[in-house]
């Protein structure tokens, strides 16, 4: 049996966003335990030309909600992009999870050949089928930002490992 577009998207986004929330819990706890300002982590960049940790979280959330919105046609909520603290970032993840839970499978399944046009940078767009968009753009972009956030925490001495990334609090 072929995997449905819904199964390949929403549950994957939900699972990894929950794991990301778990990583944020561990990051905040690490800062408090080690007695440093949590903004050291939320403002951290791996390189000067990279976006900071907070933007990695916001972009991961946007990749999930906008990807599902483009495929399903169910309008995504607009967020302010002003989250700066661990609790605010966790709330952003939860708002994204709430949106994903509200999108019915019937709006996504059967969209494999639907043409999706999406922004690539500030002035360029790209068009591909929904299946290609999901598998070669939306999911890889989503995982890139979650992995980058994980690496930023790990780099800063937060006790996170592969099990936290893959299983979150369910391990």
| pLDDT tens-digit series, residues 28-55 | 999 999 999 999 999 999 999 999 999 9
* Of 30, 18, 15, 9, the residue nearest 152 (C-alpha): 30
Alpha carbon distance 7, 13 (integer Å):
10
Alpha carbon distance 116, 110 (integer Å):
14
Q: Number of folded domains in the chain?
A: 1
The widest CA-to-CA distance across the chain, in whole angstroms, is 52
Write the CATH number for 36: 1.20.120.450
Say what the pLDDT of residue 171 is: 57
| Domain hosting residue 147, numbered range | 5-170
Look up residue 97 and give its two tokens.
């999870």
Q: Do 116 and 128 form a contact (C-beta atoms < 8 A)?
A: yes
99 backbone dihedrals φ, ψ, rounded to 5°:
-60, -50
Burial of 131 (0-12, 13-18, 19+ CB in 10 A): middle
Instruction: Give exposure, 17-47, as e/b (b: 16+ Cβ within 10 Å).
Output: bbbbbbbbebbbebbeeeeeebeebbebeee
Say what the pLDDT of residue 144 is: 98
pLDDT by 10s per residue, the chain, length 171: 678 999 999 999 999 999 999 999 999 999 999 999 999 999 999 999 999 999 999 999 999 999 999 999 999 999 999 999 999 999 999 999 999 999 999 999 999 999 999 999 899 999 999 999 999 999 999 999 999 999 999 999 999 999 999 988 775
Secondary structure letter of residue 103 according to DSSP: S
């Amino acid at each position: 049996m072929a995997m449905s577009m819904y199964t390949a998207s929403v549950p994957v986004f939900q699972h990894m966003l929950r794991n990301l929330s778990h990583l944020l819990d561990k990051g905040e706890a690490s800062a408090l335990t080690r007695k440093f300002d949590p903004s050291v982590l939320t403002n951290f960049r791996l390189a000067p030309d990279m976006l900071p940790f907070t933007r990695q979280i916001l972009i991961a959330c946007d990749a999930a909600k906008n990807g599902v919105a483009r495929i399903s046609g169910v309008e995504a909520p607009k967020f302010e992009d002003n989250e700066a603290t661990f609790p605010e970032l966790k709330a952003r993840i939860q708002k994204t999870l709430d949106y994903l839970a509200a999108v019915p499978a019937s709006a996504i399944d059967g969209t494999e050949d639907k043409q999706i046009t999406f922004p690539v940078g500030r002035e360029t767009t790209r068009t591909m089928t929904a299946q290609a968009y999901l598998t070669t753009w939306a999911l890889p972009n989503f995982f890139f930002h979650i992995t980058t956030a994980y690496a930023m925490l790990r780099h800063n001495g937060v006790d996170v490992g592969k099990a936290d990334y893959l299983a979150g609090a369910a391990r």
